[in-house]
């Protein structure tokens, strides 16, 4: 997920990162133990020159890996907290979830 979001910035939206979500339909607490590897936190992500037309400005400003991943974490945890605090909205989302089919 993090690499996909960073790659989207490098590619100037030529390639789009998919939304990652896991839906727990059991109604019980669930714990995950993910492994994250985000690279050098000081590395600056900037649009690659071959991912934009001549004279076209990048869609995103340069950003460090730490700031990019940190922003994703803040957004994710904020959304998860809001989702957890709104049971009706959560159940509507769970019930409306559709599988993603490969084309």
Per-residue pLDDT at 3 = 77
pLDDT grade, residue 46 (50/70/90)?
very high
* 61: exposed, middle or buried (Cβ count in 10 Å: 0-12, 13-18, 19+): exposed
Block residue for tokens 């994710």: 76
C-alpha 74/C-alpha 67 separation (Å) is: 10
Which residues, listed in sequence order, are joined to residue 63 by a DSSP beta bridge? 45
In the chain, what percentage of residues exceed pLDDT 70? 61
pLDDT at 30 (0 to 100): 78
Structural domain boundaries in the chain: 2-96
pLDDT tier, 48 (very low <50, low <70, confident <90, very high otherwise): very high
User: For 64-97, what is each residue's pLDDT tens digit?
Assistant: 988 888 766 666 666 666 666 666 655 565 555 5
Q: What is the mean pLDDT of residues 58-62?
A: 93
Q: What is the pLDDT of residue 68?
A: 82
pTM of model > 0.75: no
């Amino acid at each position: 997920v993090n690499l996909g979001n960073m790659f989207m910035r490098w590619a100037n939206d030529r390639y789009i990162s998919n939304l990652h979500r896991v839906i727990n339909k059991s109604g019980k607490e669930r714990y995950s133990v993910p492994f994250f590897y985000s690279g050098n936190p000081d590395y600056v992500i900037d649009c690659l020159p071959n991912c934009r037309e001549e004279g076209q400005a990048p869609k995103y400003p340069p950003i460090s890996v730490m700031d990019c991943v940190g922003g994703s974490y803040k957004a994710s945890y904020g959304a998860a907290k809001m989702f957890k605090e709104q049971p009706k909205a959560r159940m509507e989302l769970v019930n409306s979830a559709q599988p993603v089919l490969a084309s």
